[in-house]
Structure 1
């Protein structure tokens, strides 16, 4: 069975209806027991009054083994059922009665002045009994214990009658409350209408939707949606920037290749064609490098999905070793300096490799032939670790130091080819790793670029 989408209205009504149904059931039972208690108290009062009246009547009559028909009718008559009675004399024993009270009446204490109420069973029925004591008229030494009992059934019947009166009223109240709950939930959910209207009127906007009319209860949801919009806006901005950067950087190489193709076609001699092909290959290599760097920048600008504990004292030497053949080819002394003990950080390995590899690439490219490039790892204190790349090349003028890391910026006077994206890639990657990228001209010449990242504490 395929169910429909979840409904907030149905959920709210269910959460309210079930407790209301339980409360109605509880109130019905409570009403019954209250009615039964009320019925018991009324019947108990009538029972004690009748017992006292019967005892007073016997106190004015001579003690006899039988009662007059008028007295018997008076005590036995009960419009709701049958009534039982018993009269015990302290000297003569049972002198009158219509049931066997031997298990109850003789055991009652006649020292009190108020009637005693208790429950028992007579002739297979549950009964309520009342006993009161009085002096015999013709014998001051004799004491009469007068007991009157009535069935409990009529009490329960009165309680049920009261309940039958209360139930329709409670049902009407329940229906009224259900209607009010339905109206309240339906009307209350209309507070979402302005928010829904604002969203429906949007045409690709990713601005926050939070406003003063947003209910407090759904504020966490709205904050989450605003966060999603912000991330989407950031991604779109990065995509637009990537497209603009790609168009800016690829326009010149592509135009140059088209120019050389036209030149080769216009001049058919082999030397001109050879020269054009060499230029096209150079421009193609530049285009490929620009494309690679732009993709790397795009990856570096994206927040990494996974992070893990990384031992930089183990990983950095491996990454440096990957660039050693290139350094040997260019006549550059590339080395590593670091500790033997583990130094762990929390981050994304691919992103950290991208950042450090671009720093090494910049050093190999701009330090010059016969230069020395050192990649190192060291602990700054108990909280941070530093990964650095330093060379003994020409360094960077102090007046442009603050612009390092800008996209497509290259220091003036740089002879080596490049895209101006290496430090930008490193900057974006390090920022997502929660670290800091710093630049420093060495006193003896050369540049030191460092990545400072918090150490991972604990095992």
Structure 2
């Protein structure tokens, strides 16, 4: 399941832009519609003004055809030119060709127009706005088709009855104005959206920061640490923190009781086991001295079995005590870690197990696989625990290899391996070798089934992986390695 923070961020980062797109789309659609209505209203108002103004100007200027004794002439139409550079005020991005008008008499003669209107098409049968669906639209010249045209007839004045007035607005200028208006609306909203998204991300991360701090603290906490969490958290999380603090105390007390019990039990068992071992050894010596006792070989055999059982129990107690100490740890304290000298460390371990190897006539060998000993497994280790790890690997190999075998300790850049030429292990048993108290069937050697479990736990604490494998044919034997995790 995703984290609450990730789910919130995903939902908001998807939902907010989607909501913004829908809202902006609706606003743009309404804005487009309203501006078009406003411009159409403006056109009709201009047409209304022209109806009232144009006839008066026509009367004053006697804009009629006059007969001449020699020729018949028509008075030219009035063309009005207006340059915006001579206008004062804040005109913004308005252009000279934004609007235009034209006035014709009923015969189609142009009476009055501005610079744009003189190119408008005369449509005596058109009333109102000219739409593309109208049949008259097809009669427009290319210039007129680029304008939003409104036609009105002056039928109220009998003197000028039949006049046609056309008012137009440039479609490109209209669209540019609409786009500019929408940009003015949408751009600040977009900037606001981005700022709002940034604010949401910052607030969510800030709100979840106490949980992040608690998570980091819990990841570094040792199981036996019963100190309370002191992070400043919101009221909603405080009950959880309080419950965790109580749980820490309970867990620490439980682990302490288990460790005390293991230590006490180990201590109490060691003394009687040592006493029993001593008595068994004395019994063997006495049996060797009393040669006149019948069947003394049988008695010596049973005494040897008692001694072996005591030795196995002592070994088991030692292994249990080691496992109880390292099992609760999640990570090794930094102050216990150091960069090892692998040659010196392995010399010590090989010296410790040398006597056990000589008893079985087993040859112990160390090989450095890499060119430079300084490159061997470059990690920080707890020397005491790692000596125990290598010792257990060698001890396990010595115990289960036949007499006269060769055991090689190999040191490489990413692994430390113990390779023997013994009988190997059945493939189906490889996965279970690190289980506690597991011993393959048919074993006659003394053991507790905990040695490889301890090795596995120490390897995990050092960031290593314990791997078991049989040697590839034609070689025979077994390989145990601790390898750096990838």
* TM-score after normalising by structure 2: 0.41
TM-score normalised by structure 1 residue count: 0.43
